[in-house]
Amino acid sequence: MPMDKHTILKEYFGHAEFRSGQEDIIDNILAGRDVLGIMPTGAGKSMCYQIPALMLEGVTLVISPLISLMSDQVGALVRSGVKAAYINSSLTYPQYCEVFRRARAGQYKIIYAAPERLLTEEFLSLAAAVKISMVTVDEAHCVSQWGQDFRPSYLKIAEFVSALPYRPVISAFTATATSEVRDDISCILGLNAPFVITTGFDRSNLYFGVMRPSDKFAELKRIIRNNSGKSGIVYCITRKGVEEVCEKLCEEGFSASRYHAGLSDEERKANQEDFICDRKTVMVATNAFGMGIDKSNVSYVVHYNMPKNIESYYQEAGRAGRDGEPAECILLYSGKDVRTNRFLIENSSDENPDMTEEMRAAVRERDLQRLKAMTFYCTTGGCLREYILRYFGERAPSYCGNCSGCNTNFETVDITSEAQKIVSCVYRVKSASGRSFGRSMIADILSGSKRERLLQLGFDKLSTYGIMADTTQKKIVKMIDFLIEKGWLGITEDEYSVVTLTARSPEIVRDRIKVEMKLEKETAAVSMKETAAEYDIDPGLFAELKKLRSNFAAQEKVPAYIIFTDAALKDMCRRLPFNNDEFLAVSGVGKTKAERYGEAFCTLIGQYAEEHPNMKKRAVPKPVYTESAGQPWHESEDEQLVREVEKGMTVKEISDIHKRSLGAIRSRIKKLGLLEN
C-alpha cells in the first residue's frame, strides 16, 4: 500500500508537520498541475518535489545548475532511504554507464541532471525509455534574462520537455524573484496554468545589519571572533579581494579558505569540501560560491563588499541559518563598492549569443537600476527587513526588532535646514564650475574641508562653504543619500556617480517643505545586535553528540550535517531520547536514520545522563500553529517578544511584526508571564 505524504514526511525526512506552503504545492503536483514556488532559502523547497516524487508512478527528473548541489541532495536522499542518483561530468565513464543502466531498470525515483545534458543523444534516449512523471526546475530564476543568475543552458529545458513522448508535470522553484522574473519563468518554461505560490520572503531567524566601518578588516575580525568555532561565509566582489582577505585572515590565525573562478577545479573542490566538512570554519569567496552549497550550519554571512542587487544579496545572505538557528547577515558598505559594481556591470560580457544589442542594453540598464536599489538598502535609516520584503512586493511592518535599522539607537530628526543647505550647495557647485560632483566633494564643501582639490577648484569661495562645519562629513553623506533615495536629489549612473538636482529639488529650497529622517543618536554607543542566546541545552552533551556525528561523517565520507544538523543535535539535548521510539520524535530523524544511527546516539545520551545525574529531561512543548502563518513558534522569538512588550507595543503591533494571529501572540505572552498591552 503506497504511503501518504504525512507518512513520507516523517519516515524519510523526520518531520512531523509541513511548513507553510509545502502541503499546497505537493497537493497541486499530485493533482497533475504545474507549479511555480517562490520560497526563501531554508523554507524546504526540496521536500515540495521530493515527497510527490516518491508518490508518483515514474521517475522525477530534477534540473539543477551545479554539481555540488546535486551531490549534496542525492547524498542526503540516499541516507534517508530514497533511491536517487545524479548525471553530470563528475561521474567516470563506468559510473555514468551504471547510472544509465539502473535508471532504465527503474531503480531510481529521483534523478538529478545538469541542463547541458538534456539534449544529448544518450539522455534523450533514456528519457524515451523511462516514465518521467515530473520535471522539476531548481533555481528557476536562471531561465530569465532578467534574473540575477541568467544561464543560457536553462533555455534548453522547454525544448527537452517538448521532445518527450508525453508531457509530465513541471514544477519550478526559486528563492528570489520579482513579479517580472516570475512571469518570465512561467512563459519560458511553458508552464500550463500553474499553481503559483510565494510563501513569504521573511527569514525571522536572520539578523540583518549594515555597517560603514573605517576599517573593514578590523570589523570582519571582530565578527568572526564573536562567532568563534562557527561556520561563516565572507563574500568579496573580486577575486583579488578574496585573495587579500583570505591571506590576511590566515595570517591572523583564523581557519579560512578561499573560492573563486580563477582557481583550479581541484583546489575549488578541495577548499569547498574543507568548509562543508568543518575542517575550515571561514570561506572567503566571490559569488561563484554558494548556489550549490546545502550546508545547514552556516552561522553568519558577511558581505565584505556590497553586491550588485538585492536578489543576489538576499540569496547569498540566506545561506546563513538554514537550520533555523539564529544567524547574522552583515554587510560592510563603502561608496567604493558602488563604483566597482557599476564598472563590472558596464563591462560585463554576456554569454547568450541570441541576445541583440538592444536586449543587452536593456539588461544593463536594469542591472544599474538594481544597483541603485541595493545602494539605497545600504544607506537607509529604516528597517532593513522591511526594505527587502517591500522590494519583493511583500507588505511588512516598519519595525522588525532584528536588524541594525531597528536595533541601532535612532531618532527622527528634522533636517529641513540641512536639506536646504545641501540642495543649495549642489546648485552653486554646478553654477560655479559648469559640472557636478560626487557626495564626498559636496560634503567636504559643506563641512569646510581644506582638501587640496577643493581649494584648487575655488569651492572655498562658495557661499555654502563651511555652513555645516558643526556636522561630520559622514553624517552629511548620509543626509545626501537620504535626499537621493527620496528623489529630492539625483545620482548619475556614470563612472563617477555625481549628485544632481531633480524636478523635486525646488520643493526643498523654494517650497521649504519639512524634511525628517532617522539618524543615529550621537550620544549613544552603537553596537551590533548579539546573536540570540542558544537554547537551554547542556553544552557538554552537545559537544559529545557533535563528536559522535563527526565519527559517522568521517566513516561515510560525507559532511557532518548530512548525518544530522546542529538543530537535530540540540533537539536531542532537549528531549534526551533513550530508546528508538523517543529518538524518532527528534526533529530531523526519520525511520532510516533512526535505524542507522539511533542506537549509537541513544547509548551516548544514556551514558552521559548517568554521569550527570542532575541533568533532567526537558519537556518539549508542541509548536504553536496559527491559521495565518502555519509556522511553529520557535523559542528564539521569545527574546524579541520580551523586548516588544517592554517597549509598550500593543498585541496588534506585535501580531503584525510576527505575522501571527492575535490569539497566538496573547497565548505566548501569557506563557512567558508578561503583562499584555
Q: How confident is the model at residue 172 (pLDDT cuts 50, 70, 90)?
A: very high
**Residue matched to cell numbers 515527497:** 51
Give the pLDDT band (50/70/90) at residue 171. Answer: very high
- How many separate helices (H) and strands (E) can be counted in the chain? 29, 17
- Furthest C-alpha separation in the chain: 88
Burial, 217: exposed, middle or buried (Cβ in 10 Å; 0-12, 13-18, 19+)? middle
pLDDT, tens digit (0-9, with 9 covering 90-100), for 498-511: 899 999 999 998 88
Q: Return d(Cα 481, Cα 464) in angstroms, integer.
A: 19
Burial class (CB in 10 A: 0-12, 13-18, 19+), 414: exposed
Cell reading at 534? 542558544
HSE-CB at 455 with a 13 A cutoff on CA atoms is 5
Q: Is the pLDDT of residue 628 over 50?
A: no
Lowest mean pLDDT among 150-159, 280-289, 493-502: 493-502
Which comes out higher in pLDDT, residue 142 or 458? 458
- Going by pLDDT thresholds of 50, 70 and 90, the confidence category of residue 492 is confident
676: pLDDT strictly greater than 70: no
Summarize the confidence of residues 623-644 as an average pLDDT: 51
pLDDT for 630 equals 40
Mean pLDDT of 146-153: 71
Q: What percent of the chain has pLDDT over 70?
A: 85
- The more confident residue out of 219 and 411 is 219
132-137 and 256-259 strand pairing: unpaired
pLDDT above 70 for 584: yes
Compute the mean pLDDT over every residue in the chain, rounded to the nearest whole number.
84
pLDDT of 2 reads 63
Render pLDDT for 21-74 as a digit per residue (tens, 0 to 9): 899 999 999 999 999 998 877 678 889 999 999 999 899 999 987 776 787 788
For 2, residues 6+ apart whose C-beta sits below 8 A from its C-beta are 55
Contact 629, 660 (CB under 8 A): yes
Mean pLDDT value of segment 98-127 = 90
| Phi and psi at residue 110, to the nearest 5° | -135, 130
Interval 187-194 mean pLDDT: 92
Give every CB contact of residue 243 below 8 A, 6+ residues apart in sequence: 258
Domains and CATH numbers, the chain: 5-198 (3.40.50.300), 206-407 (3.40.50.300), 410-520 (1.10.10.10), 539-611 (1.10.150.80)
Give me the residue label for grid cell 549642489: 426
| H/E element, 490 | strand 489-491
Cα 291 to Cα 37, 67, 138, 319: the distances in Å are 17, 10, 11, 9
Each residue's pLDDT tens digit, 23-33 = 999 999 999 99
| Cell 568579496 found at | 236
d(CA 322, CA 316): 12
- Most confidently modeled range among 65-74, 112-121, 663-672: 112-121
In the beta sheet, which residues pair with residue 235? 285, 303
The grid cell for 568 is 537535530
**Stretch among 88-92, 212-216, 275-279, 599-603 having the lowest mean pLDDT:** 88-92
pLDDT at 622 > cutoff 80? no
Residue with more model confidence, 389 or 674: 389
Q: What is the 3-state secondary structure (H, E, C) of 515-533?
A: CEEEEECCCCCCCCCCCCC
SS3 207: strand
**pLDDT the model gives residue 285:** 93
Overall average pLDDT of the 97-122 stretch: 90
- For cell 531618532, the residue is 411
User: Tell me, what's the pLDDT at 523?
Assistant: 40
Residue 525's pLDDT band (cuts 50, 70, 90): very low
Q: DSSP letter at 676? A: P
Whose cell is 499546497? That residue is: 24
User: Is pLDDT at 370 greater than 80 in this prediction?
Assistant: yes
Q: What's the pLDDT band for 222 if we cut at 50, 70, 90?
A: very high
Q: What is the pLDDT of residue 17?
A: 83
Q: What is the mean pLDDT of residues 229-256?
A: 94
First to last CA, the chain: 53
Grid coordinates belonging to 77: 536522499
Per-residue pLDDT tens over the stretch 415-462: 999 999 999 999 999 999 998 999 889 999 999 999 899 999 999 999
Q: Locate 325 and state its grid cell.
A: 538557528
Q: What is the DSSP string of 416-457?
A: HHHHHHHHHHHHHHHHHHSS---HHHHHHHHHT---HHHHHT
Question: Mean pLDDT, to the nearest integer, of 178-207?
Answer: 87
| 334-342: average pLDDT | 87
The proportion of the chain whose per-residue pLDDT surpasses 90, expressed as a percent, equals 36
What was the pLDDT predicted at 554?
A: 86
Q: State the pLDDT at residue 32.
A: 93
| DSSP percent split of the chain into helix, strand, coil, nearest 5 | 50, 10, 40
Once rounded to an integer, what is the mean pLDDT over residues 122-144?
Answer: 90
From 62, 74, 235, 193, select the one nearest 140 (Cα to Cα).
62
Cα 311 to Cα 571: distance, rounded to the nearest angstrom:
33
pLDDT tens digits, residue range 381-399? 788 999 998 888 887 777 7
pLDDT tens, position by position, 270-314: 998 899 888 999 999 998 786 556 688 899 999 999 999 998 899
Of the candidates 464, 541, 548, 663, which has an alpha carbon nearest to the alpha carbon of residue 654? 663
Please say whether the beta carbons of 505 and 486 come within 8 A: no
| C-beta separation of 639 from 182 below 8 A | no
Q: Write down the pLDDT at residue 530.
A: 39
What is the pLDDT, as a whole number, of residue 1?
A: 47
Of 18-27, 94-103, 318-327, 487-496, where does mean pLDDT reach its minimum? 487-496
The two beta strands, 231-235 and 298-303, are: parallel
